[in-house]
Structure 1
Amino acid sequence: MTDEWSRSEKKIARRVFDAALHRELAAVLQTFKAMAASASDPESMWSTEEFLSKSRREIDSKYDYRYSQLHAVFGRLLREGRISEEDLSGLSESKMNVILRIAAF
């Protein structure tokens, strides 16, 4: 995107990005703890490891804080229900239009 990010938009983007990442990591941690606590055999132990590896790959590919990627990141997070339009209040209309189009896919 050629649309530059203003200082205030950068602050909004960082806040929204960090909060969404924190919530998703907290959910993964909660699931991991439950899986680890109930692991009773090697198979369940390896299932827990597989869950963590898959979660890390998904999170690493989803959360890309490059300004050129934030439209897609926020569009995906909006589609997944991890953020709301209100969270993005303060972004330019052109950015919101792109984000909403991506979220609609």
Structure 2
Amino acid sequence: MQASEAEWTEIEKKIARTAFEQAYRREIEALLQQVQQEASTLVELNDLWRLHDFLSAKRHEVEGKYDYQYSILLFVFAGLVKEGWLHLNELEGLDKDKLSKVAVLSRM
């Protein structure tokens, strides 16, 4: 089920990059809003450390999730669709087999 870089056309690579960046931008914007809201409610030092711990965990999660390697990109897209950061229609133009795999994997 892996798709190497050689199996992605130039058009597919552009579509994939755009979709990847859109999903990343959406998640980061949501994270920024969440952090701004949380920061505005800080009252004591423990609140600050709790926010720090949240941000450390979130950084690890985001950096691990957004891995742009063609061999795993369909899995990345499926996860992003499942989480709501990406929509299947944003992948239109990819090979039908790739779209189908993303759709199936996102429902697992």
TM over 0.5: yes
| C-alpha RMSD over aligned residues | 1.1
In 1, are the aligned partners of 2:19 and 2:91 still within 8 Å (CA)?
yes
Overall identity of the aligned pairs, in %? 36
Give the residue type in structure 1 aligned to 2:8.
W
Name which of 6, 9, 13 aligns with 2:9. 6
The equivalent of 2:75 in structure 1 is 72
Which blocks of at least 5 consecutive residues in structure 1 are unaligned?
A: none
Q: Does 1:91 align with 2:90?
A: no
Q: In structure 2, what is the equivalent of residue 46 of structure 1?
A: 49
Report the equivalent of 1:103. 106
TM-score using structure 2 length: 0.91
Q: Distance in 1 between matches of 2:103 and 2:25?
A: 22
TM-score for the superposition, normalised by structure 1: 0.94
SS at match of 1:38: coil
**Structure 1 match to 2:21:** 18
Provide the secondary structure at the position in 2 that maps to 1:64: coil
Deviates more, 1:67-76 or 1:94-103: 94-103
Query: Whole-Å Cα distance in 1 between the matches of residues 100 and 28 of structure 2?
Result: 28
Provide Cα deviations, 1:14-61, integer angstroms capped at 9, x if missing partner: 000001101101111111111112111011001111111111111111
Higher relative contact order (CA 8 A, sep 6+): 2
Query: Match for 1:67: what amino acid?
Result: Y
Return the offset for 1:2: 4.1
